Amino acid sequence: KAGVTQTPRYLIKTRGQQVTLSCSPISGHRSVSWYQQTPGQGLQFLFEYFSETQRNKGNFPGRFSGRQFSNSRSEMNVSTLELGDSALYLCASSVGDRELNEQFFGPGTRLTVL
Amino acid sequence: GENVEQHPSTLSVQEGDSAVIKCTYSDSASNYFPWYKQELGKRPQLIIDIRSNVGEKKDQRIAVTLNKTAKHFSLHITETQPEDSAVYFCARGDYKLSFGAGTTVTVRA
């Protein structure tokens, strides 16, 4: 099976702009979670989508949003970018059962905000 | 209630020695405890996980122990090798995962 893929891998934006990141899960996985990784902060949970619906949400401002399509692919959008949004954004897919299971991570999108 | 405290933040061990990383949590609803390994420039990968109805689990040189009463769980790596050098993250979850801040493990040859 192909692994989780993310596009683009690298992105440079300026403050105030908006950005859209994409994640394609492993075939058959219905859950996609998004994380922000910064040095010293570990992985911070953004949100999780399951069957095109946001099932869980972390503690990020409303500038961070997402969606999931019928083929389970997911996008994450960040509006009005701030310098502090510079980070590695990882998505992870899992089967999506009620019980938590192994999450398979993508390679990440490195976002730099200037 | 969602925070996971992970210690130590850095760990340097001699090749062949053991490495132990400990995590504590406060949310009693946690029932799933995975450990992820992230090598430099690569994605996190699951190395072992444990559920709340089990106290210990082993997989070759790696073991995880869970004390639900004390709300802590630990990763044990025995006979460390240079390829064990990486950042290790613990996590806890009920319906979503919360990660610790990570431990950078360096195995000295």
What pLDDT score does B37 carry?
97
Confidence of residue B96 (pLDDT cuts 50, 70, 90): confident
- Closest to A42 (Cβ–Cβ): which among B34, B96, B99? B99
Residue B37's closest CA among B66, B62, B71, B3?
A: B62
End-to-end C-alpha distance for chain A, whole angstroms: 37
Contact A102 B46 (CB under 8 A): yes
How far is it, in rounded angstroms, from Cα A114 to Cα B56?
47
What pLDDT score does A87 carry?
97
Query: Which residues on A lie below 8 Å from B43 (Cβ)?
Result: 90, 105-108
Residue B78 has pLDDT above 60, yes or no: yes
Query: Which residues on A lie below 8 Å from B53 (Cβ)?
Result: none
How far is it, in rounded angstroms, from Cα B12 to Cα A37?
23
Residue A98's closest CA among A55, A57, A69, A68?
A: A55
Distance from CA of A17 to the nearest CA of B (A): 27
Query: Which residues on B lie below 8 Å from A43 (Cβ)?
Result: 44, 89, 91, 99
Contact A105 B49 (CB under 8 A): no
Distance from CA of B42 to the nearest CA of A (A): 7
Per-residue pLDDT of chain A (114 residues; tens, 9 = 90+): 789 999 999 999 999 999 999 999 999 999 999 999 998 778 999 999 999 999 999 999 999 999 999 999 999 999 999 999 999 999 999 987 777 888 999 999 999 999
How far is it, in rounded angstroms, from Cα B92 to Cα B57?
16
What pLDDT score does B2 carry?
65
Confidence of residue B30 (pLDDT cuts 50, 70, 90): confident
- Closest to B97 (Cβ–Cβ): which among A41, A100, A108? A100
